[in-house]
């Protein structure tokens, strides 16, 4: 079979990564997925899936080497037949929702794990580029002809890197791309995202590695973490509403007047693919501009569930007071804008999470395609 391109998806067992694998395969790519774990809610569609720890530089190096479409990761083949991928999508990171990121208890772990992965990816790709494209004598003993392409790397950054002082007013947060400095993220997670973003730009400048950088704004949808402490706000609220009775009360952290915008997963994937196919490096926001309060998010979930949910506001980690994507730059550079309303996305997400809460132990989790049909019907 003739494939369009060959792609490596790091973090392919996670929420966004597994959706990206599905999209790339549908476009005719040959895809290798890598993660510590397989996707939790559906079988991977990657042609080859490798389990391992990207904090290990040797393992990372092996992941970046392409040995053909036969799934030959574990095979030893003559090095002159090893090539590089056309595209690498780097989603692998230590992350979670506010209950994980903003408590302060996981700061060192988050920073060490994520920075180590990004350093390994860039440094091992740099070495491979010297092998395949450069003049380094010790790497060219395999008599490989010089290749005509350079592997393009996508890095999934986060809106958490924006300064806290620009996000104090819940009605008027400033998240334009050029508002990032002077830097002042409100969490170590945000500082790590900012550092890694600069790391990718530095490797691009100094070593000629083509990169594309996005700043994601609260991506949500089916097949994302929905319980256990690392889930994002839409999933946590959908879960609480699904478990609640028609007029029950659910707990909401803070006064619920903090604002956010949330982007449905399919739109995130489309924007990311457009960025990778463009000549624009970024960083660029990928998000929705439909800003709502957390109280309104609860009301939206209750509406799609057909319930009259009450709110009990309690203390909890909150993050910044207001955050909303500004899409002026991505509209200008890529001609992309979000199309799906928050309510549409919450409806699909709620139906999927509701099923997780009521399914019998012996029942299979339905595929995403089945849920798209259910939510649309």
Instruction: Give me the active site residues, please.
Output: 189
Please tell me what DSSP assigns to residue 146: P
The two beta strands, 48-51 and 30-35, are parallel
CB of 98 closer than 8 Å to CB of 19: no
The two beta strands, 292-293 and 259-260, are antiparallel
CB of 173 closer than 8 Å to CB of 167: yes
Q: What phi, psi does 259 have (nearest 5°)?
A: -110, 150
Q: What phi, psi does 142 have (nearest 5°)?
A: -80, 0
SS (H, E, C) 161-181: HCCHHHCCCCCCCCCCHHHCC
Q: What phi, psi does 320 have (nearest 5°)?
A: -70, 165
- Judged by DSSP in three states, 351 sits in helix
Residues found in the chain = 377
């Amino acid at each position: 079979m003739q494939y369009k391109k060959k792609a490596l998806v790091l973090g392919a067992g996670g929420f966004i990564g597994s959706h990206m694998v599905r999209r790339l395969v549908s476009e005719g790519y040959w895809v290798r997925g890598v993660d510590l774990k397989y996707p939790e809610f559906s079988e991977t569609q990657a042609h080859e899936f490798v389990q391992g720890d990207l904090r290990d530089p040797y393992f990372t190096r092996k992941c970046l080497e392409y040995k053909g479409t036969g799934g030959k990761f574990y095979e030893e083949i003559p090095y002159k037949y090893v090539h590089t991928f056309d595209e690498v999508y780097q989603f692998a990171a230590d992350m979670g929702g506010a209950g994980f990121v903003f408590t302060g208890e996981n700061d060192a772990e988050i920073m060490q794990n994520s920075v180590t992965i990004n350093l390994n990816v860039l440094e091992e790709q740099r070495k491979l580029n010297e092998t395949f494209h450069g003049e380094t004598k010790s790497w060219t003993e395999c008599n490989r002809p010089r290749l005509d392409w350079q592997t393009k790397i996508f890095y999934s950054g986060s809106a958490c890197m924006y300064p806290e002082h620009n996000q104090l007013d819940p009605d008027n947060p400033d998240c334009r791309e050029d508002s990032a400095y002077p830097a002042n993220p409100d969490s170590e997670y945000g500082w790590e995202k900012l550092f890694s973003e600069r790391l990718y730009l530095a490797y691009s400048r100094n070593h000629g590695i083509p990169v594309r950088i996005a700043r994601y704004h609260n991506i949500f949808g089916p097949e994302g973490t929905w319980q256990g402490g690392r889930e994002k706000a839409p999933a946590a609220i959908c879960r609480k509403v699904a478990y609640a009775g028609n007029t029950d009360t659910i707990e909401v952290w803070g006064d619920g007047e903090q604002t956010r915008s949330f982007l449905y997963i399919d739109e995130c994937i489309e924007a990311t693919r457009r960025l990778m196919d463009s000549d624009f490096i970024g960083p660029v926001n990928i998000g929705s501009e439909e800003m709502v309060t957390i109280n309104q998010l609860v009301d939206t979930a209750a509406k799609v569930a057909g319930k009259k949910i009450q709110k009990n506001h309690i203390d909890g980690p909150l993050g910044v007071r207001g955050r909303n994507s500004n899409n002026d730059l991505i509209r200008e550079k890529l001609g992309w804008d979000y199309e799906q309303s928050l309510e549409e996305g919450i409806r699909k997400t709620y139906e999927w999470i509701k099923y997780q809460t009521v399914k019998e132990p012996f029942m299979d989790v339905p595929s995403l395609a089945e849920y798209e049909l259910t939510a649309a019907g």
